[in-house]
Structure 1
Amino acid sequence: MDIQTLLVQGHIKPDEAYNAVTLPIYLTTTYHSPKFGERGKYAYSRGANPTREYLESLVARLEGGSYGFALSSGMTAIAAALAVLKAGDKVLITQNVYGGTVDLLNTFFKDFGLTYELVDTSDVKKLEDHFDKNTRAILIETPSNPLLDITDIGAVSKAAKNHGAITIVDNTFMSPYLQLPLELGADIVVESATKFLSGHSDVIAGTVVTNDAALAGKIRAFQRLVGGISQPFDAYLLVRGIKTLSVRIDRQVENTAGIVEFLRKSPAVEKIYYPGLPEHPGYAVNQRQAKSPGSILSFLLKPGFDIGRFFDSLKLITVGASLGSVETLIQHPATGSHSGFSPEQRKAAGIRDNLIRLSVGIENAGDLIEDLHNALGASKL
């Protein structure tokens, strides 16, 4: 079945009891035991819930995996993936990874003896120099947040296996519609379902998918014991959002192409980071492993243009956190998504103070370009 059909129709009928077309929302916390001393399929919703279970099996199918988990946020999903490791283990991480991932390691996981190193995962040969006897995982984003670096998932996964490590891929920027890390060799794929899977800025959730039974057992234990579950109504909204994933992303990618072309000609723009440009270092790899370059881009303002004026002059585009929604969202990484990085880490990762990240929505492309044009003009000193 083509993924466009699977997104809309789902993998099984959502309601076997009454044949409802829409997924039922089971708000119950507990379930009646059929007989003394026996437990049915469902006992307590922290462990399993029919609405969440449908979402989990659907996401697993979309990602090409065997085991799916729906959690309370993208950060909970990252925590669940990292929780398969143990004290003393080391993780190699894409150097301009989402700042929240680094915050999580610097605070929570630091006290549990998990260490990490930020490295350039786009260069597999250099990456291998960073492996040591404690390296047990590589966590990559491709495209990365916010510089859209591209990592060869297949090559990194192969290198990780050669060193006895697992590969975790944060696939949030692409979603399973555009990229399938498990099919490329990754062991775990993580999504902030808040973003493209939901697509409407009204759900916070995360997903984790794997084909490995042992890893799935650890992730399931984390989900059940910590209780970081996606709630039934959120699961329902996610399934509803997933139905339009392909049409939303197709429109967003189309809009992005027009905006990139506008920015390339703008006298206010110093550089554009977008894997759809032939001059992007990861262009060929991204073409090989992804369906398209996606709808997230970043760009640098030239000297002589004030970034504060630019943001304050926007009228249509929403200034705010998050990405992947139907509305266009724009953010300043240095003070937003990567404010948790130290100045040294931001410098090493190439996250400059004049960097802007744009998540393109489904509005009229001409209106978006006009808003950018006016704001860039107003930013000139």
Structure 2
Amino acid sequence: MSHIETDLIHAGKSFNNTPSVVPPIYQTATYYAPADADDYMAAATEARYPFFYHRHGNPVSSQTAELLAGLEGTEAALLTATGMAAISTAVLSVVKAGDHVVAQQSHYSAASILLKELLPQFGIDVSYFDQHDNASLEGSIRDNTTLIYLETPSNPNLAVTDLAYVGALARRLGITTICDNTFASPINQRPADFGIDIVVHSATKYLGGHSDLTAGVICSTQEAVNKAWKKLLSLGGALAPFDSWLLLRGLRTLSLRVRQINENALALAHWFEKHPLIKRVLYCGLPSHPQFELAKKQMQGFTGMLCVEVAGKDEQEQFARAQTVLNHLKIFANAASLGGVESLAVHPASMWGLHHSPDQKLKAGINDGMLRISVGIEHVEDLIGDFEQALAVV
């Protein structure tokens, strides 16, 4: 069996039927039909067939999907146009009217809208559990619970969910599990290893790694992926050929990028813990993180995501100081998204404000003085220096 670094370069080559070392971009909506009627029928109906029509499949998408399935340790994978296309397609391929879904209290805001607003429109009930407390999950399950939806570490507060516990409980009860693995990446964590059924990503983030594409991926068994593919045909969230090609190119350096990002983030987190103007640091790789021991058990690295809470006499002063820091950063860009080669910093309370009530914001651990930081691959001394000069202005 090859190592990850080798697989990232060579996996899925069977889908490149040209002499080109770099797979070509199949910038076409459709393909010539086989002369044989039976072959044409097979092409039109086979799940994810790469040479029929773009909404059905694409050769580079097939190559990229095979690589991603190998990374996540699953049988198959399906690419989508965005991370939310992956999440919504995966969820809708599992649930139906009359079903019940259990989800974490803290997760990505767009996923929260899907759970709070869209699913109830289709007669699907959703309730929430505290991902810090396993007993909270078990107490939320009903007779009609068909799905447990997870995200670990969670966005933005870096809460860690016990994947082994959830996987074992769900398998025993016959409940499907979906885990958003975007914050970790398969370099740092593989939920399928802990019994999770379906793994989703916003491939826009670490997998692509260069902030130049939007994409999503669903990883699971052949049966589950084919079921999701059939749902995707109706939802229409196919990944564009060029974005598929960019994703494959970005994946070549995934292991190198994530390992450097992990190293930078840990060093920056340690530095933040010693700074007098930082009230709190949330990073899975710090012993001060309330779930540090759990993170060590299920993660090989602790990601480039961390949150800091700027100190202040009250939340109003914390908010003002956080904005001052953001406005004076020179290397860290104040921009949405995460997981790219460049470092970013955003204010979660501003980004999530329209989607969360004050109570929901409190339960999600979002404070007005909080900054969410996505660490890139720049030199760590420059990253520390950037925050040092920005905090000096406060």
TM-score by structure 2 length? 0.92
Q: Which of residues 197, 204, 209 in structure 2 aligns to 1:187?
A: 197
Greater mean alpha carbon deviation, residues 356-365 or residues 42-51: 42-51
Q: Is the 8 A contact 2:148 2:176 kept in 1?
A: yes
Q: State the Cα distance separating 1:352 from its structure 2 match.
A: 1.3
Q: Is the 8 A contact 2:15 2:59 kept in 1?
A: no
Q: State the Cα distance separating 1:338 from its structure 2 match.
A: 5.8
Instruction: Give the equivalent residue in structure 1 for 2:306.
Output: 297
- 1 CA distance for matches of 2:112 and 2:143? 22
Instruction: Give the equivalent residue in structure 1 for 2:65.
Output: 56
Q: Which of residues 343, 362, 374 in structure 1 aligns to 2:377?
A: 362
- 1 CA distance for matches of 2:354 and 2:129? 19
Instruction: Give the equivalent residue in structure 2 for 1:211.
Output: 221
Aligned alpha-carbon RMSD (Å): 1.6
Instruction: Give the equivalent residue in structure 2 for 1:32.
Output: 32
Show CA shifts across 1:285-340 (max 9, x none). 21111111111100111115522211111122100110000000111111114641
Show CA shifts across 1:148-195 (max 9, x none). 111111111111223331111100011111111112100000000000
Q: Is the 8 A contact 1:296 1:358 kept in 2?
A: yes
Instruction: Give the equivalent residue in structure 2 for 1:238.
Output: 247
Q: Which of residues 363, 378, 382 in structure 2 aligns to 1:348?
A: 363
Greater mean alpha carbon deviation, residues 336-345 or residues 231-240: 336-345
Matched, 1:72 2:81: yes
SS in 2 for 1:334: helix
Q: State the Cα distance separating 1:231 from its structure 2 match.
A: 1.0
SS in 1 for 2:102: strand
- 2 CA distance for matches of 1:164 and 1:339? 36
Between the aligned residues of both structures, percent identity stands at 37
Greater mean alpha carbon deviation, residues 227-236 or residues 330-339: 330-339
SS in 1 for 2:303: coil
Q: Which of residues 273, 294, 313 in structure 2 aligns to 1:285?
A: 294
TM-score by structure 1 length? 0.95
Closer, same or farther: CA 117–308 of 1 in aligned 2, 3 Å: same
Matched, 1:85 2:95: yes
Pick the structure with more helix per residue.
2
Q: Is the 8 A contact 2:341 2:376 kept in 1?
A: yes
Q: Which runs of 5+ in 2 are unaligned?
A: 44-48
Instruction: Give the equivalent residue in structure 2 for 1:7.
Output: 8
Q: Is the 8 A contact 1:14 1:22 kept in 2?
A: no
Instruction: Give the equivalent residue in structure 2 for 1:17.
Output: 18
1:360 counterpart letter in structure 2: V
- 2 CA distance for matches of 1:142 and 1:36? 48
The within-5 A match list for 1:70-219 is 70-83=79-92, 84-211=94-221, 213=223, 215-219=224-228
Q: Is the 8 A contact 1:105 1:114 kept in 2?
A: no
Matched, 1:336 2:345: no
Q: State the Cα distance separating 1:13 from its structure 2 match.
A: 4.7
1:218 counterpart letter in structure 2: K
- 2 CA distance for matches of 1:99 and 1:182? 24
Q: Is the 8 A contact 1:92 1:119 kept in 2?
A: yes
- 1 CA distance for matches of 2:166 and 2:215? 27
Q: State the Cα distance separating 1:266 from its structure 2 match.
A: 0.6
SS in 1 for 2:269: helix
Q: Is the 8 A contact 1:13 1:21 kept in 2?
A: no
- 2 CA distance for matches of 1:65 and 1:216? 10
Q: State the Cα distance separating 1:205 from its structure 2 match.
A: 0.4
Instruction: Give the equivalent residue in structure 2 for 1:222.
Output: 231
Closer, same or farther: CA 47–212 of 1 in aligned 2, 3 Å: closer
Closer, same or farther: CA 292–338 of 1 in aligned 2, 3 Å: farther
- 1 CA distance for matches of 2:216 and 2:5? 21
Q: Is the 8 A contact 2:339 2:374 kept in 1?
A: yes
Show CA shifts across 1:9-31 (max 9, x none). 2243552332x211111111111
- 1 CA distance for matches of 2:15 and 2:272? 44
SS in 1 for 2:213: coil
Q: State the Cα distance separating 1:224 from its structure 2 match.
A: 1.7
Q: State the Cα distance separating 1:212 from its structure 2 match.
A: 5.7
SS in 2 for 1:68: strand
1:74 counterpart letter in structure 2: G
Greater mean alpha carbon deviation, residues 101-110 or residues 264-273: 101-110
SS in 2 for 1:367: helix
Q: Is the 8 A contact 2:128 2:140 kept in 1?
A: no
Instruction: Give the equivalent residue in structure 2 for 1:274.
Output: 283
Q: Which of residues 321, 339, 343 in structure 2 aligns to 1:324?
A: 339
Instruction: Give the equivalent residue in structure 1 for 2:46.
Output: none
Greater mean alpha carbon deviation, residues 195-204 or residues 219-228: 219-228
Closer, same or farther: CA 339–5 of 1 in aligned 2, 3 Å: farther
2:29 counterpart letter in structure 1: T
